[in-house]
Chains A and B, each alone.
Chain A
Amino acid sequence: MDTNFNYMVVDDDPTNNLICRLMIKKFDPVAEIKLFSKPEEGLNFIENYVGDPIVLFLDVNMPTLTGWEFLDHFIKFRSDIKDKFEIYILTSAIQNFRKEKEIYPFVKDILSKPLKERYLMEIKKSIGK
């Protein structure tokens, strides 16, 4: 039950990053939270990652690299690294991403902004199983 896992947020919107940080902190005060406003830096981080499993909240609409393009890079990483990531798309968009879901089946879910406590609880539950 007390499996340790960390959090990571990739989004160019600083407000969202702030909200995420505060919300996760509130939910799990001991969890490690990594915030990236540039997706390129986030990829760098993942590539060299060692440690506990990690939940990634990924934005879609970013100027240099969209969330989907981010995932295209992610797929190319070693599987032992990939296995550590639980990926959630966190977007302000209200459209149906059915097509993308089929292309990226490893994405756990698509969540609508802002990040809510409810989401964090459900994530924790699913990982616990």
Chain B
Amino acid sequence: MKKKINPIKILFLADAQSPLILNTIKLQKKENAFEILLSDSESLYKEALKDYNPDIICFDTSLKAFSYNLALDILKKSKLQASFIVLSDNSCNEFGIMMLENGVNDYALKDTPENLLFFIEKIAFKFKLERERCELEEKSKDTEYRVKDFNAANSEIVCFLTEKGEIKFITSAIENLLGFSEKEANNRKLIDLLNLNSPEIFTEALNDTIIHPKKNAASILIHAKNRKGKSIWFQASFINQLDDATIMGIIVLLKEVINTKFSDFKSVGNEKKYCAFFESSLDGILLTTIDGKVHAANPAACKMFQMTEQEICEIGRSGLADLNESNFHKALKERESKGKSKSEINLFRKDGSSFIAELSSVRIDSSSGYFSLIIKDDTEKRHIKRKLEKSEERYKLLFKLNPLPTFMFNENDLTIVDVNDSCSKKYGYTRDEFLKMNLLDLRNIKEKKELYAILQEFRKSNKSSLHTFSRHQKKDKTEISVEINSHRFFIDGIPYIVSVCDDITEKDKILKKLIDTSEKLKVAEKIAKIGYWEIDLKDDSLFGSDYFFKIYGVKDRHIRPDPKGFKNKVHPMDRTKFNEYLKKLLLGTNVRELKYRIVLDDGSIKWLHSRSKLVKNPNGQAICMKGVVQDITSEKRTFENLAKSESRYKGLIQSQTNYFVRIGVDGNYSFCNKKFIEEFGWAFPDNNPIGMSSLTDVKKYHHQKLFDTTKESMAHPNVITQMEIDKRMKNGGTKTTLWEVIYLTDAEDVGEIQCVGIDISERVKIDRENQFQANLLEKIGQGIMATDADDHVTYWNNAAKEMYQWTKEEVLGKNIFLLLYGDYDNHKETIPLLKTGKSWTGEIIAKRKDGSTLPIQITKSPLFDQNDSLSGVISISSDISSLRKSEIKLTKLNNDLKDYTKELFSANEGLDQFSYIVSHNLRAPIANIIGIGDLLESNSEPEDIHKQLLYELFSNIGRLDDIMQDLNEALKIKTEFPKKLEYVKLEELIHDILDANQKLMVEENVIITTDFREIDEIYTIKNYLYNTFFNLISNSIKYRKPELSPVIEIRTKSVENQIIIYFKDNGLGIDLEKKGDDIFRLYKRFHHHIEGKGLGLFMVKTQLEMLGGRITVISSVGDGTEFIIHLKNNK
């Protein structure tokens, strides 16, 4: 939560025309710190108290509407905490004292705006402090928000800088004043943010502070520009706290300066502004050259001298001032040496009268030698000051009423001239004691020197007010921190200073607590051994926490290398890995963690574990990378040692039968076991490989491989790498060996490569043999295929490719049955045989890649694994198409019959349907024929019966034939598919059906109504749809109610991607509860009186299913029947 400090609200009670108001409004325009409201009537005033909530009320005594007494009463009644200041023309003491006694907080003379300004400032200051304190105390319980709120409550920028001027910490006031957020400011150079007109002043002051750490609060005035280019004047104070363990930096306080004149004067370079200032300034300004010629005079100057600009220019310096006056010469001299001067001299008006003026002269253009001369008519000021001098009483009252300790002292000898009651309360000295004291007595010895320095600086500058921090000693020797606002004024040329001192000890304490909190964080960081770092991608600058630098062994924490320096510390072996990590991190890949090594300057190696992330701004742009690093060297070392001992142990175990060697980083053997020496020792002098190159016993063509592998291994310490290497044998032969290579590292000593190897010559030999055999298989003219236990192809020779058109690459891993045999090969039948270890040979039809078929003779032989279970099959096949072509033709009919049977088996009703047909329909006429045969055989029947029997015999044979034909038709549907799809207009289809069956339709008086509005056309097989419609229509006619004409309603509907056709009649209806399951079955009839073979609906269902649709029925006895057809919309 951020709190914005509102500007000080000032309510002016004055007539709108009052010149004072005009002045102040001008003042307000230049000052953001103040907000001004004008009221000139009692009602407006009351309203303003309620709504405007002013901090300060200025009452102009020239206001006619009501008196200050009334205004004061109204204020008291409103219970508003506001300061009441009276501005008056009346400089009479009695009047002032009376007002103060009446409860007015202060009073000022209208015509001395500087004083007014000082009062306002003082009161504003008091307000500000009060507010700050309240807020800080309120929030102090809450550590979390403490920093933020403290920052927010402080309108000054407080920041900690490194010696390079980079911001370590800055309060949020920077946002209001300069337009940068705290985040943006952090780690950047303060000077860069300030955009100074003369940066050298800032740099000088900063360096000065660094070089002289004891010096207290060097204070300079700087002209900065905020982010938007608006110019701001700051009073910058520097405090060297590099030795302070909690801060370790330079504290810079930036306070916006509200001396408008000063800022305007400084911005002379800007000509437009200068002109405006020149013209409108209340001070007289002359533009002169070094020889005293006047080139221009502003209206105020003309008014002072009572001359026109031309007159002034003509008369020149000599006509305006007394050239013999000593002050005048002093001023000229000063200007000559310093380029500027400040003096008080007598000037002459046109009428010869003189006035004392305060003159400031500055060289504004060194090349042309122009000077600006600012003249302030001091007559009035001096007049008032004299009065002030006389009215000691009044000042005492002023002092007394100020709740803050206020001192007045002589700037030259620092003697305290006056103190108020608050001073006594705060410091414990009585007023009399104070008056005998020197300002220095309030400070400890260390700070006395600083005081001189501050005052000297103050004197040098042309400022009249000063803002400092200091420590004061009370009478009881306890010290308090004070914030001092000082204002200088002259009485008879002697500089006096009024200082308002505010005890900020408590504020300091709170600040200190904050610092303590961050200190605790630092400790936590140390304990966790975690370093925090951040790289700003904008300028590649690196920020690291203390511990981060410690991890990297940077002892001098003031020398902070750039990120490159840190990258260079990464162990050469890990550099690639590290760079990749950074690259990925930058790309936003989720990498997060990395373990890597660094080499410190002293050569020691550390293992670090880094966790990082990329931070993006809301626009998705990467702003910075940040992360933490942890020193995991000790853990890593433990792990390494473990791995090392483990590996060594393993090596020992294996060394009985395996080769076991260690190779140093120089590539030479440092250890070889007995077995190794036995076999390869001959290659080395004295049978001793130690210290000899590990390449010696390796075949030349494998030198590079060995070299590469070791390199790879060294890049990945403690990871096992395998390599196959051919070694030389004594008889000139080759021994193939397989090695496990591991690079064992240690944070301390140089690593070594440990290798454990075995002789794999035998294995390689077998491999080669296998390869040879495989080659042989490739050359054979028979198609050879191997499959695993799951029938997936594992081998496929060239001839197989020729035969089946599939390449090896296409078939590997695929199911051989799906590829080649489909249903033709009854694989399951062969399995039991193969399991017994026997081969199976048969002739089958195989599919080829292009879909054509190929008759093959195939021999399958089983393969067994170690457990004697079937692990695969090797099939050798040969093309027998030429041999079998004629034979196949002969058996085609047979096969077709088989196919029909199989079709029926696989049909929806499958076996059930077929057995039903066989038992109930095929068998019935056959049984009849047998029965008739029995009767005819006995030949005992009379003639007429005999004839009837014969008739029955033939009619049953005819029935049998009909059934055979029906069956064929039902099966044809499946064998003839796919047919051509076409668009069928439903209206036309109905028309065709009616046309073809006109006689029936007329006889039965059939009424068909159609509604094809939703779908009038279907993309389908016309024949099937015709059959369906015809069957359903004829069904409705057949099973109509005898007393009613058949009425059939046909309509279509489109639902999602489906076509629905409704057929509804007014016929007999079907008892679905009883017959539902059977209605679409072959040879099912449900009525006695009707002719029907029970084929129609079976055909309808089968054909619709072939079209990817389905048919359902809704019906009940006596209530008509509705068939509902669902078809996919193929459009």
User: Which residues of A line the B interface, CB within 8 A?
Assistant: 12-13, 15-16, 18-19, 22-23, 26, 38, 61, 63-64, 91-95, 112-117
Q: A38-B1088, A113-B930 are in contact. List 5 more A-B contacts (CB 8 A).
A: A16-B928, A18-B952, A26-B940, A91-B919, A115-B931
In the bound assembly, the distance between CA atoms of A94 and B921 in angstroms comes to: 11
A-chain residues with CB within 8 Å of residue B949 when the two chains form the complex: 18, 22
Contact with A along B1061-1093 (1 / 0, CB 8 A): 000000000000000000000001111100000
In the bound assembly, the distance between CA atoms of A114 and B952 in angstroms comes to: 14
**Judging by beta carbons under 8 Å apart, are B935 and A22 in contact?**
yes
In the bound assembly, the distance between CA atoms of A19 and B926 in angstroms comes to: 13
**Judging by beta carbons under 8 Å apart, are B923 and A93 in contact?**
yes
B-chain residues with CB within 8 Å of residue A22 when the two chains form the complex: 935, 941, 945, 949
In the bound assembly, the distance between CA atoms of A116 and B938 in angstroms comes to: 12
**Judging by beta carbons under 8 Å apart, are A114 and B930 in contact?**
yes
In the bound assembly, the distance between CA atoms of A107 and B931 in angstroms comes to: 23
B924 interface residue per 8 A CB criterion: yes
B934 interface residue per 8 A CB criterion: yes
In the bound assembly, the distance between CA atoms of A114 and B920 in angstroms comes to: 13
In the bound assembly, the distance between CA atoms of A16 and B949 in angstroms comes to: 11
A-chain residues with CB within 8 Å of residue B1088 when the two chains form the complex: 12, 38, 63-64
Contact of B923 among A12, A15, A94 (CB under 8 A): A94
**Judging by beta carbons under 8 Å apart, are B915 and A95 in contact?**
yes
A-chain residues with CB within 8 Å of residue B932 when the two chains form the complex: 15, 19, 114
B918 interface residue per 8 A CB criterion: yes
**Judging by beta carbons under 8 Å apart, are A92 and B935 in contact?**
no
In the bound assembly, the distance between CA atoms of A61 and B919 in angstroms comes to: 10
B-chain residues with CB within 8 Å of residue A13 when the two chains form the complex: 924, 928
In the bound assembly, the distance between CA atoms of A26 and B938 in angstroms comes to: 10
**Judging by beta carbons under 8 Å apart, are A15 and B952 in contact?**
yes
A-chain residues with CB within 8 Å of residue B924 when the two chains form the complex: 13, 16, 61, 92, 113
**Judging by beta carbons under 8 Å apart, are B934 and A116 in contact?**
yes
B-chain residues with CB within 8 Å of residue A63 when the two chains form the complex: 1084-1088
Tell me what chain B mostly uses at the interface: helix, strand, loop, or mixed.
helix
B-chain residues with CB within 8 Å of residue A15 when the two chains form the complex: 928, 931-932, 952, 955-956
**Judging by beta carbons under 8 Å apart, are A93 and B934 in contact?**
no
A102 to chain B minimum Cβ distance, whole angstroms, is: 20
**Judging by beta carbons under 8 Å apart, are B928 and A19 in contact?**
yes
In the bound assembly, the distance between CA atoms of A61 and B1084 in angstroms comes to: 9
**Judging by beta carbons under 8 Å apart, are B935 and A23 in contact?**
yes
Contact of B931 among A19, A93, A94 (CB under 8 A): A19
B948 interface residue per 8 A CB criterion: yes
Q: Looking at A38, A64, A115, which has the most chain B CB atoms within 10 Å of its CB?
A: A64
**Judging by beta carbons under 8 Å apart, are B920 and A92 in contact?**
yes
**5 A–B contact pairs at CB < 8 A?**
A91-B919, A92-B919, A93-B919, A113-B923, A113-B924
A-chain residues with CB within 8 Å of residue B653 when the two chains form the complex: none
Residues B895-952 near A (CB distance < 8 A): 915, 918-920, 923-924, 926-928, 930-932, 934-935, 938, 940-941, 945, 948-949, 952
**Judging by beta carbons under 8 Å apart, are A23 and B934 in contact?**
yes
A128 to chain B minimum Cβ distance, whole angstroms, is: 24
**Judging by beta carbons under 8 Å apart, are B927 and A92 in contact?**
yes
User: Which residues of B line the A interface, CB within 8 A?
Assistant: 915, 918-920, 923-924, 926-928, 930-932, 934-935, 938, 940-941, 945, 948-949, 952, 955-956, 1084-1088
**Judging by beta carbons under 8 Å apart, are A113 and B920 in contact?**
no
In the complex with contacts A13-B928, A114-B927, A114-B928, A94-B918 CB distance below 8 A: yes
**Judging by beta carbons under 8 Å apart, are B927 and A18 in contact?**
no
B-chain residues with CB within 8 Å of residue A18 when the two chains form the complex: 948-949, 952
**Judging by beta carbons under 8 Å apart, are B928 and A94 in contact?**
no
In the bound assembly, the distance between CA atoms of A95 and B931 in angstroms comes to: 19
B-chain residues with CB within 8 Å of residue A91 when the two chains form the complex: 919
In the complex with contacts A18-B952, A64-B1088, A23-B923 CB distance below 8 A: no
Minimal Cβ-Cβ distance residue in A for B940? A26
In the complex with contacts A12-B1088, A19-B928, A92-B923 CB distance below 8 A: yes
In the bound assembly, the distance between CA atoms of A61 and B1082 in angstroms comes to: 13
Minimal Cβ-Cβ distance residue in B for A62? B1088
Contact of A23 among B931, B1085, B1087 (CB under 8 A): B931
A79 to chain B minimum Cβ distance, whole angstroms, is: 27
B476 to chain A minimum Cβ distance, whole angstroms, is: 117
Q: Looking at B924, B927, B941, B1087, which has the most chain A CB atoms within 10 Å of its CB?
A: B927
Minimal Cβ-Cβ distance residue in B for A18? B952
Contact of A64 among B915, B918, B935, B1087 (CB under 8 A): B1087
**Judging by beta carbons under 8 Å apart, are B935 and A61 in contact?**
no
In the bound assembly, the distance between CA atoms of A76 and B124 in angstroms comes to: 115
**Judging by beta carbons under 8 Å apart, are A114 and B931 in contact?**
yes
A120 to chain B minimum Cβ distance, whole angstroms, is: 12
Contact of B927 among A12, A38, A95, A112 (CB under 8 A): A112
**Judging by beta carbons under 8 Å apart, are A19 and B920 in contact?**
no
In the bound assembly, the distance between CA atoms of A47 and B534 in angstroms comes to: 105
A-chain residues with CB within 8 Å of residue B931 when the two chains form the complex: 15-16, 19, 23, 113-115
A-chain residues with CB within 8 Å of residue B940 when the two chains form the complex: 26
In the bound assembly, the distance between CA atoms of A84 and B1059 in angstroms comes to: 58
In the bound assembly, the distance between CA atoms of A93 and B952 in angstroms comes to: 20
Minimal Cβ-Cβ distance residue in A for B953? A15
